[in-house]
Structure 1
Amino acid sequence: MTSDVKTGDVAAHAARTGIREVTAAWWWFLILGVLWTGVGMVVLSYRPGSLTVVAVLVGAALLFGGVAQLVVASRVRSWRWLYLVMGTMGVLAGILTLAWPDITLYIVSILVAWYLVFYGVFHVISALAGPKLPWWWTGLLLGIAELVLGVWSVHSWQRSLFTLVTLVGAWAIVHGVNEIFAAFTLRQAGHDAQRALEGGR
């Protein structure tokens, strides 16, 4: 009997430790969301020399996003080909942008526009075909926003620098807000699991 009690205590302790470790990851999502939001605000500040900053930020964002998608592709089975395509496109676009940071705004707008189009389609498909987790609709809204902004940019090669900077800044802020929602959702899920564990004693 005593052995059963001790075994139960050990299992409960292990479960609480696991919940704390998983819940602690919410900070990473929150930091990422705040960083993306900060990037958007910097871009939208329209300060001198923003062209170079925009090119570098876009290149880094494309590269990071592409690598993230490739990492996800190595760990999933469903829709793996889509993750691979999106990841490869993101990495190639990021490398091209960082290799020529002083290239004309025309080329940068091409990369941003098509990335937004394809990534928007990807987010929409993921939101509709994936599991309906809490706040799943934010992914759908993000995909729709990216798709609309991308199509708008594709048809605006002659538009002013203000238009492109606004598109990049708005995309970064929307993406950041989505990550912040994910952070607080994970945190709440951890608290709920902790309360359920304590209530089951």
Structure 2
Amino acid sequence: MTHIDKSHGVILADDIRTAWAWFLALGAAFIVLGLIASSHLLLATIVTVYYLGASMIIAGVLQIVQSCRLTRWTGFILWLLSGLLYVVAGIVTFTNPALASSALTLLLALFTAASGIMRIWLGAGAMSERGWGWIVASGVLSTAVGLIFLVGWPVNSAWLLGLVLSIDLIFQGCALVGTGVRLKSMN
């Protein structure tokens, strides 16, 4: 049973250690979901796109409601328009998931490559520090992956988001299983 220290509002370390089985079970579930997603990449991409669309609609509606509560605020119109834009983008995502998948895949490719370029630059600027080479190496890898994504675009839009989702689920699952095993060994 998890206890919360009422004076600080934190979960006690002993309670976390006794929850090792939950970490293990959650990790196993993530791994299974990741494997299922990896066997149905198109479906996983569609689910990802619909999830993002639903998130945009919910966020937009909440922002519109919030803006209506602040009608006298000087930023009211911009806040309202921003919320409406979120809702419209979410609706477009639902009505044309192929377009949304293509746009999201392009953004993923560009941001991955840009992230890699930034790490190369940061690593090169830290040459006097230990480990700078690892930063540069990870930057080169990210840049290469981003460029591979970009070269395959828009064809890879049908499966790439599903692949990223499945890999993420599997890695998170492995991390949770590892945490559960480590916590079990601490008991």
TM-score after normalising by structure 2:
0.47
Higher relative contact order (CA 8 A, sep 6+): 2
